[in-house]
Structure 1
C-alpha cells in the first residue's frame, strides 16, 4: 500500500498545500468528491486523461489513512 502513497504530494506552492496527484494540480479531494458522487474509475480517467487507475487507488488509500487517524488531546500542564 505504501508505494501508492508516493503518488500523493503536498507542496505549499501548489493548490495552497492541499494533497494532489503527483505531477499535477488535481487535488485528492476532487477525486474523492467525484467518486462519492458516483463517478466510476473509467469515467474519471476519461475526463482526466493523465489520471491512472493507481492514482485513484492512491486517493482512496490516503483517505483511509486520514479516517484512521486518531486525535490525542493535549492537556497543557498548569
Structure 2
C-alpha cells in the first residue's frame, strides 16, 4: 500500500505525493481531518482511488509510530 506514496526531490520540494503526482499526502490528510468524506475527496480529485487514501492514512500511522518508511523515488 505504501508504494502508492512517492517522494521525488524535484516534485513538490520532495514532499510525499500520491503515485508520483503533485497531490500531496498532507493535502489528503488535512481534508480528512477537516471532515471531508472519501467520496468528496474522489469527487474533488477524480484520479484519486480508495487505496490512495488508505496509503495516506497508513503513511501517517507509520510516521506517528516513528517507524522508518521506505518509499519509492
TM over 0.5: yes
RCO comparison, higher one (Cα < 8 Å, 6+): 2
Structure 2 alignment gaps of length 5 or more: 68-73
Match of 2:23 in 1: 26
Task: Tell me the TM-score normalised to structure 1 length.
Answer: 0.84
User: Which protein has the larger Cα radius of gyration, Structure 1 or Structure 2?
Assistant: 1
CA root-mean-square deviation: 0.9
1:68 correspondence with 2:65: yes
Segments ≥4 residues shifted beyond 6 Å: none
- Which residues of structure 1 form unaligned runs of 5+? 71-78
Q: TM-score, normalised on structure 2?
A: 0.89
Aligned to 2:48: 51
Aligned residues: 67
Aligned partners of 2:5 and 2:20 also within 8 Å? no
